[in-house]
């Protein structure tokens, strides 16, 4: 009985992940290195961002949960209702997944970043909100480049 439940739970996870993968394949998905995933939800029409540019973004951050809708688990942060967040791409002032994940976006574009722990907060986690070794999902909109 226990093994059937485990197999059933594993099967559900694979089924849900398969559905998400199918949905993601309909948009532009890029994997960087072995694990960072960049899913272009909407391609922008403005200037393209590159390393060294200052990005202005709106974002929402989620803990990855393979059983949640779109695998977006608990929301832990958002710029909604605040001015856009600004950072210099590639300067190492944000997690590596952001530095690598926004490169190539065009102003007006929206991208989902699925960031593995080694490109996020790793074994230390962050602020009591992000557990150790968490995979993170960020929905990012590039609103401007300075």
> Annotated catalytic, 59?
yes
Spatial separation of the C-alpha atoms in residues 18 and 113, rounded to whole Å = 18
CB 67 within 8 A of CB 12: yes
Query: Out of 13-17, 36-40, 126-130, which region has the weakest mean confidence (pLDDT)?
Result: 13-17
- Give Cα separations from 39 to 8, 48, 58, 93 (angstroms): 29, 16, 16, 23
> Annotated catalytic, 28?
no
> Annotated catalytic, 99?
no
| Catalytic annotation, pick one of 49, 99, 114, 138 | 138
Q: CB neighbours of 88 closer than 8 A, spacing ≥ 6?
A: 52, 53, 54, 55
Q: Is the pTM of this model over 0.75?
A: yes
| Catalytic annotation, pick one of 20, 40, 77, 145 | 77
Query: Out of 1-5, 57-61, 77-81, 107-111, which region has the weakest mean confidence (pLDDT)?
Result: 1-5
| Catalytic annotation, pick one of 39, 95, 114, 137 | 95
6 versus 47: which is more confidently predicted?
47
Q: What is the pLDDT of residue 31?
A: 58
22-76: per-residue pLDDT in tens?
334 445 666 555 599 999 999 999 999 999 999 999 999 999 999 999 999 999 9
| Catalytic annotation, pick one of 121, 130, 137, 139 | 121
> Annotated catalytic, 114?
no
């Amino acid at each position: 009985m226990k093994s059937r439940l485990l197999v059933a739970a594993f099967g559900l996870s694979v089924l849900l992940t398969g559905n998400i993968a199918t949905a993601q394949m309909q948009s532009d998905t890029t994997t960087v290195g072995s694990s960072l995933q960049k899913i272009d939800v909407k391609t922008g029409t403005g200037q393209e961002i590159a390393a060294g540019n200052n990005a202005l973004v709106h974002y929402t951050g989620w803990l990855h949960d393979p059983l949640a809708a779109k695998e977006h688990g608990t929301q832990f942060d958002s710029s909604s209702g605040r001015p856009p967040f600004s950072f210099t791409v590639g300067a190492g002032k944000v997690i590596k997944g952001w530095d690598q994940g926004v490169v190539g976006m065009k102003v007006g574009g929206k991208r989902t970043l699925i960031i593995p722990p080694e490109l996020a907060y790793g074994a230390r986690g962050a602020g009591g909100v992000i557990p150790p070794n968490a995979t993170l999902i960020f929905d990012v909109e590039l609103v401007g480049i300075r």
